Amino acid sequence: MSMIEPQRPFSPQHTRTGSSPIAEAPTQMWLPPAAPPKQGKSVRWRWLLLVVTLLLLGTADLAAGATATLYYYSDMLLPGTSVSTLDLPLGGLTQTEAIATLEAEWAQQTVTLTNGSAPVQIVPLSELGIVLDAPATIEQAHAQGRTPAALWQSVRRGQLVVAEPIWAFDPQQAEAFLQQLAPSLTIAPADATLHVENGQVLTTPPVAGQQLDVTASLAALQNQSGLLLQTRTLPLVTTAVSPAITDVSTAKAEIEQLLGQVLIVQGYDPIYNETVTWELNNDIWSVWLNVSLDEQGDVEWRLNEAAAEAHLAEQQALLGNGRFVETAVLAQTILSALAQQQSLIPTRIYHAPREHVVQAGETLASIGHDYGIPYPWIQQANPALGNGLSVGQPVVIPSADALLPLPVVQNKRIVVSISEQRVRVYENNALKWDWLASTGIASSPTAPGVFQIQNHFE
């Protein structure tokens, strides 16, 4: 820096010009010398400010240098140090403290799994196989701040030292998690269905299901694992599952055709060789009907057995003479006929046991003759009867059906007439043979009744 030298006071100089004497020289005007510039207070303050500034700058640099040196040789991370994507300040912590802090924070980091636009579940990063290497991350953060530039930026200029997290992807852990998650995302497909309501066939369209594509979701996770630290969202990959039955038009037409029919119930009474017929209009039996489709799309028929049996019980009251049909069996017969698209429903009429009050002069044999039930069957039905009968004593007369243990053959019948001593054979209600017969004698009479041929002997 140059200093301004003060100017000397002005003193006139006598100068000769040529050989002219001084007296002949022209007279010169004398002027006072120019005043030097004044050194005021502003200049002095500038100097003072400059000196103080230099001292302060020197002190700050020395302090910064000392602080940088202290951090350089310490185990602590530089002030302002953080881990990217977490915005986690770690400056001033030792490496051990920073590792523990980082691991605790990482354990709280989550990812939202989505199915389309709908969130499914929020899970920790570790569940998806994204595993943090906290010691390596902190070691990198510690070493990154040891360069001269980093020291100057952190201590002198207050700039942050940002470290990238060091992590690894564990595909086995990720796959295990996705396999465990898969059942919760599985939606079974719904087949097209039909049902009968108020005599009308109503259909339900099919609905596709879905299932988690573990392989594709795992590949997406592996490809986007780094991006997850920023987006915190993972779209899962699902695939549609088609229903097995998509068209029920054929089954609907089949049922509608059947609904237009009248079911004919034919009840056969083998004791009286009588057939009783009644009709079931579709507005009656269609109410009992439940239909569905099996895995092949074929119609499965079911009846509301309680409703069917209630109606059939009302009908059998019209049979009289204590006769009845087995409503549960008849309901199943109706169901089988519907499945085979048959409108004729055969069934059997049964007879309930009766009670007889003993009259004077009656014996078990005479009572059995009157009812067409051999007396051994009456004895079996009344085990407490004893050896004798008394007037007014009640006696149970077993059902005549007890004499027909085998399935009834409706179109074949042999009639033995004791009074006419004839044997007549009928087939399909037509007389086939008519022979003479010889029945029992008075001491060993032939018991009347309805029996079945159970054995054949030549």
Task: For the beta carbon of residue 61, count every other beta carbon within 10 angstroms.
Answer: 11
112 CA to centre of own chain: 20
Over residues 252-274, the pLDDT tens digits come to: 888 888 888 889 999 999 999 99
Q: How far, in Å, CA of 128 to CA of 174, rounded?
A: 5
Quick one: 77 exposed, middle or buried, by C-beta within 10 A (0-12, 13-18, 19+)? buried
Model's pTM, two decimal places?
0.52
Tokens standing for residue 259? 């609904």
Over residues 310-359, the pLDDT tens digits come to: 888 888 888 888 899 998 898 889 888 888 888 899 999 999 999 999 99
3-state SS assignment for residue 396 = strand
Contact 142, 77 (CB under 8 A): yes
Over residues 121-157, the pLDDT tens digits come to: 999 988 999 999 999 988 888 887 666 666 565 555 5
Q: How far, in Å, CA of 51 to CA of 151, rounded?
A: 27
Q: How far, in Å, CA of 253 to CA of 242, rounded?
A: 24
Contact 445, 374 (CB under 8 A): no
- Range among 144-148, 196-200, 237-241 rated most confident: 237-241
Contact 280, 268 (CB under 8 A): no
User: Which letter does DSSP use for residue 400 in this model?
Assistant: G
Q: How far, in Å, CA of 279 to CA of 273, rounded?
A: 20
**Residue 71 — pLDDT band, cuts 50, 70, 90?**
low
Please check the confidence at residue 30 and state whether its pLDDT lies above 70.
no
Percent of the chain exceeding pLDDT 90 equals: 40
Q: Which CATH number fits the domain 249-351, given the four candidates 3.10.20.800, 3.30.70.260, 3.20.20.140, 3.20.20.70? A: 3.10.20.800
3-state SS assignment for residue 125 = helix
Q: How far, in Å, CA of 382 to CA of 395, rounded?
A: 7
Q: How far, in Å, CA of 88 to CA of 98, rounded?
A: 10
Contacts of 185 (CB under 8 A, 6+ apart): 115, 120, 210, 211, 212, 236, 238
**Residue 425 — pLDDT band, cuts 50, 70, 90?**
very high
Considering the chain, tell me which residue range(s) the CATH 3.10.20.800 domain(s) occupy: 249-351
Q: Looking at per-residue confidence, does 89 or 57 come out higher?
A: 89
Q: What is the pLDDT of residue 315?
A: 83
> Average pLDDT in the 84-101 region?
86
Please check the confidence at residue 15 and state whether its pLDDT lies above 50.
no
Taking alpha carbons only, the member of 148, 192, 417, 201 closest to residue 294 is: 192
Sign of CA dihedral 22, 26, 32, 35: negative
Over residues 385-403, the pLDDT tens digits come to: 877 889 999 999 999 999 9
Contacts of 441 (CB under 8 A, 6+ apart): none
Over residues 81-91, the pLDDT tens digits come to: 788 778 788 88
